[in-house]
Structure 1
Amino acid sequence: MSVVFVLIIIGILVASVFLFAFIWAVRNGQFDDSYTPSVRILFDDPVSSKENQSDLTEDKSQKKQSIKS
């Protein structure tokens, strides 16, 4: 029975060390994303609803013309 208490204490100590290491890493910026902001300009902008609707109607008319020919 005393072994269970020793294992519980060791488990709590190990968990505390990992919690401390995680908090330290977050505060020191280890999880900050420095790559994505530099390539964000390369991503396409989301299409607005007006542009999206006009693109859809153009695509449908082009498909109809290609099917007819």
Structure 2
Amino acid sequence: MSVIYILITVSIFVAVVFLVAFIVAVKNGQFDDSYTPSVRMLFEDELVKEESESNSKSKQS
């Protein structure tokens, strides 16, 4: 029975550590990315295509 008390105490301690780590990460701006990198990556590819199309059009003129 005493093992259960030890396991509960350790699990609560681990949960508090993760909660503190999460709060610190939020305060440091870790989760402030409102525009995800995957979407930015897609838009960067489109910009490169647009630039290459405009460069090819200007070379043809």
Gaps of 5+ in 1: 43-69
**Which one has the bigger helix percentage?**
2
In structure 2, how many angstroms separate the alpha carbons of the residues matched to 1:5 and 1:12? 11
SS across alignment from 1:14: helix
AA partner of residue 28 (structure 1): N
Report runs of 4+ in structure 1 exceeding 6 Å deviation: none
Task: Select the structure with the greater relative contact order (CA < 8 A; seq sep ≥ 6).
Answer: 2
Aligned residues: 37
Hey, what does 2:25 align to over in structure 1?
25
Between structure 1 and structure 2, the one with the greater Rg is 1
Gaps of 5+ in 2: 44-61
Normalising by structure 1, what TM-score? 0.49
> How many percent of aligned residue pairs carry the same amino acid?
62
AA partner of residue 31 (structure 2): F
Normalising by structure 2, what TM-score? 0.55
Hey, what does 1:8 align to over in structure 2?
8
